[in-house]
Structure 1
Amino acid sequence: MKPAVVVLISGSGSNLQALIDQSLCGALDIEIKAVISNKADAYGLERAKNAGIPTHFISHKDFDSRESFDGALKFLIEQYTPNLVVLAGFMRILTEEFTRSYEGKMLNIHPSLLPKFKGLDTHKRAIEAGESEHGVSVHFVSAELDAGAVIIQARTNVETHDTPESLAKKVHALEHKIYPLSVSWFAQKRITYNAGKAFLDNIELPETGVTYHTDLK
């Protein structure tokens, strides 16, 4: 049986589309059971519907606390008994109780070379800091924002002519390569999580995880 995956989104869902495409062509052996968004106009919901995947909208504005929203979100997720929860541009800070519920079973993608530039506006901050390299990281989700164990990073050069927009475009292309790869490793049970550490093929990964290259499988 293919591992069951629930994807959480807030926006266009380009990483969701990469996962859908890879699963449809057989390169990614998972079943996306549902896509959930906290924004009704998220285009990712259309991407999911076009692929025949059940969709749900749950607004954080309908709840009086972060905890109550996360409780309702968890109830919805659990209807699909997922093996893995994938955050694909889900723009919510999750509570410690929620993240603890999915410890070792929830992945996020962040547009920086963690631990650098946690939070927002990463491309602009990388340029302003004079970085020669920038990129993207896939990591396990922990209670601390963008601080969970990193699985893999992909890098790109920051050129003198780069703007936040041009850098974002280069990073997006890398995201669509490493997120399906990370989910594939999880589905194959090659990636595991223990005591706050990520392991690939039973080998503990360094703080910055594996560095992506085109031959990596």
Structure 2
Amino acid sequence: MTRRTRKRIAILISGRGSNMAALIAAAIDPAFPAEIVGVVSNRADARGLEIAKTHNIPIKVISSRDYDGREAHDAAIHEAITGFKAEIVCLAGYMRLLTPDFVKKWKGRMINIHPALLPSFRGLDTHARALASGVRIHGCTVHFVTPEMDEGPIIAQAAVPVLTDDTEETLGERVLKIEHRLYPLALRLVVEGRVRMSDGVAVFSDVEDERRDLAIVSPGERRS
């Protein structure tokens, strides 16, 4: 029997790397169609680097302070990713905007997870903004990366109710739990070619078994 080749994944982080850890955990299963081959951070103090080290995943720190401008910094990141022989890039809490040239190089092969139900609440402070707006449903989105921030074609979303006694912290914790479920699912579909970006939209095929999971709805957790 011919052994299936797993896709090679590089992950970009800036902080704690909890979504990176969820992808690593999924990839530990030999049946998962991808393997994590490298982690790049723009911060040497990113806590996620230690997680990668414990799994013997190669890491690379590329600080923007060491480069003259965004283009040079992103060129160094591209060089590191290609050095890992990565085929797909996952952004997992990477907190810098990528240049259009970098995004173009990885068009259709780079995905991101955002802590809101896009197109609502693009950018930062999503949980606080959701609470301030009075929405009753909040969540997260995995999408293809395009030059416009948080505007790429949507791959999958997960939702949670906003409880009347929620704070930014409690809402964020509940959303994070479903992020960890959603990101591995979305990556699997991209790796297997069952969702791809074409003409600015996400095109799906053979996703009947995952159709419900592409829009996960998690029940609210009541606190005593």
Q: TM-score, normalised by structure 1?
A: 0.92
User: Matched residue of 1:11: which SS?
Assistant: coil
Aligned to 1:162: 166
Paired amino acid for 1:8: L
Aligned to 2:84: 80
Aligned to 1:206: none
Question: 1:30-45 to 2 correspondence within 5 Å?
Answer: 30-45=34-49
Matched, 1:194 2:198: yes
Q: Distance in 2 between matches of 1:58 and 1:28?
A: 29
Taking only the aligned residue pairs, the percentage that are identical comes to: 43
Structure 2 portions without partners, runs of 5+: 208-212, 219-224
Aligned-residue offset at 1:189 = 1.3
Aligned-residue offset at 1:26 = 3.3
Q: 1:135·1:153 contact (CA, 8 Å) conserved in 2?
A: yes
User: Matched residue of 2:159: which SS?
Assistant: strand
1:59 to 35, 42, 63: 63
Aligned-residue offset at 1:29 = 2.1
Q: Distance in 2 between matches of 1:175 and 1:212?
A: 10
Q: 1:19·1:28 contact (CA, 8 Å) conserved in 2?
A: no
Q: Distance in 1 between matches of 2:86 and 2:40?
A: 13
2:13 to 9, 14, 17: 9
124-133 or 13-22, which moves further after superposition?
13-22
Aligned to 1:147: 151
Matched, 1:101 2:96: no
Q: Distance in 2 between matches of 1:31 and 1:210?
A: 22
Deviation by residue 1:172-209 (Cα, 9 ceiling, x = unmatched):
00100000001111121111111111112179xxxxx9
Aligned-residue offset at 1:210 = 3.7
Deviation by residue 1:121-153 (Cα, 9 ceiling, x = unmatched):
000000000000000000000000000001111
Paired amino acid for 1:199: V
Paired amino acid for 2:121: F
Q: Distance in 2 between matches of 1:120 and 1:87?
A: 15
26-35 or 134-143, which moves further after superposition?
26-35
Q: Distance in 1 between matches of 2:47 and 2:116?
A: 24
Deviation by residue 1:60-107 (Cα, 9 ceiling, x = unmatched):
111121111111111111112222100000001011111111000000
2:124 to 96, 115, 120: 120
Q: Distance in 1 between matches of 2:13 and 2:89?
A: 11
Q: 2:155·2:214 contact (CA, 8 Å) conserved in 1?
A: yes
User: Matched residue of 1:31: which SS?
Assistant: strand
User: When the two structures are aligned, how many residues end up with a matched partner?
Assistant: 209
133-142 or 73-82, which moves further after superposition?
73-82
Aligned-CA RMSD value: 1.5
Deviation by residue 1:146-169 (Cα, 9 ceiling, x = unmatched):
000011110000111001100100
Q: 1:9·1:37 contact (CA, 8 Å) conserved in 2?
A: yes
Q: Distance in 2 between matches of 1:53 and 1:210?
A: 29
